Amino acid sequence: MLNKEGSDYTDKPYEVFLDGVDESLGDDLLLISDLCVENVGLPPNSRVNIIFTTDENISKLNEEFFGVGGATDCMAFPYETNEFFDEQGRYLVGDVFISVDTAAGQAEVIGHSFIEEVATLIVHSILHLLGYSDETEEDRIKMENKTDYIVEKVMGKYAGAEDD
């Protein structure tokens, strides 16, 4: 878990892990994760794991679980309600994997910041964990609109937090 010396994140509805990712990104990834989870609104008494990883590592997961070669930007693995609990008695909604390599490349192509791209991927992934789908055009538009709305709020708060 990403944890600052002497701090305790057990009261947060998420844990953040860095899997092969430059630790200097830790503070920004922790802050944006906090804002995203807060604004998506997880069910009461629940938790999500957010794992930031590399293209190499997410490629392995993509092959293992989906039979698809190559990297992807994000993956969400939902758990059944009440299947896994943490030490505080919260059930685990699921795991979110974000490739920071792919996120950086996509941010450059799209023309927004790396952190905004990471926020978009976190929100998108958590919405999948909460049952949103992007399989049909109608569902995709609905999910994109919800994602955009939440990310706009998150980025406004992120900018304010950076000023503090």
Q: Return the pLDDT at 164.
A: 57
Confidence at residue 70, expressed as pLDDT on a 0 to 100 scale = 96
Does position 10 have pLDDT exceeding 80, yes or no? no
Domains and CATH numbers, the chain: 14-157 (3.40.390.30)
pLDDT at 7: 42
Question: To the nearest whole number, what is the mean pLDDT of the chain?
Answer: 90
Return the higher-pLDDT residue of 164 and 120: 120
How many whole angstroms from its chain centre is CA 105? 17
Top mean pLDDT of 5-9, 21-25, 77-81, 136-140 is at: 136-140
- One-character DSSP codes across 6-62: T---TTSSEEEEESS--GGGHHHHHHHHHHHHHHHTPPTTEEEEEEEE-HHHHHHHH
Give me the mean pLDDT over the 28-50 stretch.
Answer: 93
The predicted pLDDT at position 162 comes to 64
**CA–CA separation, 35 and 143 (whole Å):** 19
Contact present, 58 and 102 (Cβ < 8 Å):
yes
pLDDT of residue 95: 95
Side-chain-side CA neighbours of residue 79 (13 Å): 16
Stretch 110-114: mean pLDDT: 96
